[in-house]
């Protein structure tokens, strides 16, 4: 059950513009519903004053309160396979498969990476917030690839600080619709919450914050391109939003898409058009992760192999143009 207790959150730039209930839920590892209930009751306050759950947090504010004991069920161990690429006493690097959520959240209470970690490594339960032990960064459910996980409280704190300081380099592979005009480039477009859909992000959206993505062409097809991308910031859905803003959305992305990709007339090959349309999830893969070990200082780089569905998509796409 939820451990509960008093807490204090010093809001920083990462919290700017976020809902109060969202910040509390994220930082304390509880559900947003519980956070909102406690905020409405005045149990959780901002700078000593009662606010609404929808209050937009500003840097410099102090959020304090208490989460009662036994309010929520903690994640339980589940025998879910998750491929390990590296492990020592301080951290583990995994290859997350597509279709699995990183940690429990409303609508996804079981079947997550956290449930798997607790089954195979019970001691990880003390590494960070009890609702998401070990987790220092996330990938979207349908994004595959490399993730680093903290094995204890010391490394959880150190890795979290490294991510905030942007000392961890991340490279992705994305199959996108269309072609690029040059071999490489930079997308420098601020990202914020979508004005009409709070579950989506958008360039120049509400409370936009700087977002920079570097890209280069890794393989070009007549109607699609495999990109290697490096993100200098870590905004929610950053690559997906930026690619869509360039009118080259990630193949299979049902949230950030462009109308032109639905029309056959914009494609040179009918088989390629049908193949790209058949993608069951966004063709986005967290390919490489590079950082210095938080304890030893050793420089480390990990690469997650491209998953089978994406590899088959690329193979079939090449065959479509060779026949």
CATH number of the domain bearing residue 25: 3.10.290.10
Count the domains in the chain. 3
Say whether 140 is catalytic: yes
Average pLDDT over residues 53-62: 95
pLDDT greater than 70 at residue 87 = yes
Q: What is the pTM of this model?
A: 0.80
Q: pLDDT digit string (tens) for 242-272?
A: 999 999 999 999 999 999 999 999 999 999 9
* In a domain? residue 306: no
184 and 267 share one domain: yes
Asked if the structure places residue 296 within a domain, the reply is no
The verdict on residue 302 lying in a domain is no
Show the domain range for 182.
171-286+317-322
Q: Which residue in the list 140, 142, 223, 253 is annotated as catalytic?
A: 140
Q: Please check whether residues 271 and 180 belong to one and the same domain.
A: yes
Residues 53 and 118 in one domain: no
**Which of 117, 137, 163 lies at the terminal end of a domain, its last residue?**
163
Question: Per-residue pLDDT tens for 158-197?
Answer: 999 999 899 999 999 999 999 999 999 999 999 998 988 8
Q: Are residues 125 and 230 in the same domain?
A: no
Which of 67, 93, 119 corresponds to the end of one domain? 67
Average pLDDT over residues 7-23: 90
- Residue 182 and residue 141 share a domain: no
297, part of any domain: no
> Could you tell me if 275 and 180 lie in one domain?
yes
- Average pLDDT taken over every residue of the chain: 92
Same domain, yes or no, for 280 and 175? yes
- Confidence class for position 70, pLDDT limits 50, 70, 90: low
Residue 305 forms part of a structural domain:
no
**CATH code (residue 183):** 3.30.2350.10
Q: Is residue 295 part of a domain?
A: no
Same domain, 187 and 234: yes
Last residue of a domain, one of 163, 192, 223: 163
Is residue 135, in this structure, part of any structural domain at all?
yes
Residues 210, 237 within the same domain? yes
Residues 260, 276 share a domain: yes
Span 241-250, pLDDT tens digits: 999 999 999 9
| Residues 47, 44: Cα–Cα separation, whole Å | 10
Q: Do 147 and 243 have their domain in common?
A: no
**Residue 244 belongs to a domain:** yes
């Amino acid at each position: 059950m939820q451990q509960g207790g008093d807490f204090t959150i010093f809001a920083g730039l990462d919290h700017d513009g976020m809902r109060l209930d969202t910040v509390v839920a994220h930082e304390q590892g509880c559900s947003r519903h519980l956070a909102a209930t406690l905020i409405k009751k005045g149990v959780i306050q901002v700078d000593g004053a009662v606010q609404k759950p929808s209050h937009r947090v500003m840097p410099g504010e102090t959020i304090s309160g208490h989460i009662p004991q036994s309010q929520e069920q903690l994640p339980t161990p589940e025998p879910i396979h998750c491929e390990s690429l590296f492990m020592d006493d301080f951290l583990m690097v995994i290859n997350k498969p597509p279709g699995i959520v990183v940690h429990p959240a409303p609508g996804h209470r079981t079947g997550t990476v956290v449930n798997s970690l607790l089954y195979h490594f019970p001691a990880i339960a003390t590494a960070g917030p009890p609702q998401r032990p070990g987790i220092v960064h996330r990938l979207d459910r349908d994004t595959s690839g490399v993730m680093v996980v903290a094995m204890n409280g010391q490394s959880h704190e150190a890795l979290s600080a490294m991510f905030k300081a942007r000392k961890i380099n991340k490279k992705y592979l994305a199959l996108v619709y269309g072609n690029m005009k040059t071999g490489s480039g930079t997308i420098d477009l601020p990202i914020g919450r979508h004005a009409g859909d709070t579950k989506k992000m958008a360039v120049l959206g509400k409370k936009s914050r700087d977002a920079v993505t570097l890209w280069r062409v890794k393989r070009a097809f007549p109607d699609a391109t495999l990109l290697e991308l490096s993100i200098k910031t870590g905004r929610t859905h950053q690559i997906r939003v930026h690619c869509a803003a360039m009118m080259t959305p990630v193949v299979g992305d049902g949230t950030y898409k462009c109308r032109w990709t639905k029309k056959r007339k914009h494609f040179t090959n009918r088989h390629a058009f049908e193949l790209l349309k058949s993608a069951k999830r966004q063709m986005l893969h967290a390919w490489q992760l590079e950082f210095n070990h938080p304890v030893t200082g050793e420089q480390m780089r990990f690469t997650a192999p491209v998953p089978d569905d994406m590899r088959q998509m690329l193979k079939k796409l090449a065959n479509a143009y060779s026949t």
